Structure 1
């Protein structure tokens, strides 16, 4: 699903954000990327998502050479192959829950009837169907993150990227999102989870990659829910 071949990324004259990173992620894996601030976690995620380009090396995701895409190609790639969940939800406050979830389908050209059916199924499966007509500011943080996950899964992406998905939540809501990620992993969804929280990684991921100063410091299997 993901292959990095000696990938490096530099910004200006400072030390590299990533240096000589080679790794693979297989379809169906749930991988946690851990490390302190400045270790390269966000850079890694941005390169997978096509939001940034490497300074050297090759990035291939689901058969696509992401490092060679232009801006339009990268946008199309994200619509069709990537679902993204962020720490602060990134929902549009002037759209209802349902309309937020429908947005990726509208951008990809999915017929409205099929899109509404898919959105309804996702909202029901994630337990937020009763809030379909509400605006994001009127629901809890945990519910907003569930809506964000529904939006991310709308176009059935082969890869889900989650950037500190519980970082802005209270402990109870974080536990709910943790359970949701564990269920998605058990269902075979490929997930790359960037987090500072080793407990979240242990609960949700089948593998952990530790970054330090832009390099892979360790890479090993985990037992989900340990």
Structure 2
């Protein structure tokens, strides 16, 4: 089985400080649900940016779904993100002047899908995530939990092999955060590979079955759990 993520001896240093990541190797297999944990400055964001092709390592290799991400040009990296990765952010990153459905279908239209096909796919996603009735609403009229569900729909639009979630409950109240954690768990149960970057163990526990703890740019623990 080909790993979805393969980091081999990856190091990334900024300016003259200590490495943000130091000789890190990691495998994530298809269908896994992984939380990358650690305090501020531990290397979580650097790892996320390298996996997403937003940054390059100083040493080592980054491979995602068979693509050598560290070798991509800027244009190649943008195409890679469009095809291979769905990204969910703390503050949703929805476009305020587009309706929920138009936000969701945007990645598919950029990838060349017809608007009719994109709308059909987008409405299926919004329906499955429980927010289809808000399809024509603008983000400013939605709750935080609803906006995050729209953002997850957008992330899944192009059927990416990997869903990256960066502090996905950080801007939500407790109840909405629990709903999003349950949504991520359900997506993983349906076969979606999920990587959640967070400092919040209460998010990591219910929606992932593997936790990787980073400390000072190195993997300090890698624990696989089974849910009761």
SS of the aligned residue for 2:94 comes to: coil
Tell whether 2:190 aligns with 1:187.
yes
SS of the aligned residue for 1:4 comes to: strand
Partner in structure 2 of residue 175 of structure 1: 178
C-alpha separation in 2, matches of 1:204 and 1:20: 28
Partner in structure 2 of residue 59 of structure 1: 62
Partner in structure 2 of residue 155 of structure 1: 158
C-alpha deviation, 1:194, in angstroms: 0.4
The two structures have a TM-score, normalised by structure 2, of: 0.97
Partner in structure 2 of residue 219 of structure 1: 222
Partner in structure 1 of residue 206 of structure 2: 203
SS of the aligned residue for 2:97 comes to: coil
Contact 1:202 1:223 in 2 (8 A): no
C-alpha separation in 2, matches of 1:101 and 1:71: 24
Partner in structure 2 of residue 129 of structure 1: 132
C-alpha deviation, 1:223, in angstroms: 2.3
Structure 2, unmatched stretches of 5+, are: none
C-alpha deviation, 1:35, in angstroms: 0.6
Q: Which of 30, 33, 36 matches 1:30?
A: 33
Partner in structure 2 of residue 165 of structure 1: 168
C-alpha deviation, 1:114, in angstroms: 1.2
Q: Which of 96, 104, 108 matches 1:105?
A: 108
* Equivalent residue pairs, number: 225
C-alpha separation in 1, matches of 2:195 and 2:133: 29
Q: Which of 82, 86, 93 matches 1:83?
A: 86
Q: Deviations over 1:194-214 (max 9, x none)?
A: 011112111011111000000
C-alpha separation in 2, matches of 1:160 and 1:69: 20
| Cα-Cα RMSD | 0.7
SS of the aligned residue for 1:211 comes to: strand
Tell whether 2:134 aligns with 1:94.
no
Structure 1, unmatched stretches of 5+, are: none
Kindly report structure 1 stretches of 4+ aligned residues shifted beyond 3 Å.
none
Tell whether 2:18 aligns with 1:15.
yes
Q: Deviations over 1:28-86 (max 9, x none)?
A: 00000001110000100010000000111000000000000000000000000000000
C-alpha separation in 2, matches of 1:178 and 1:214: 26
C-alpha separation in 1, matches of 2:222 and 2:208: 12
C-alpha separation in 2, matches of 1:139 and 1:202: 27
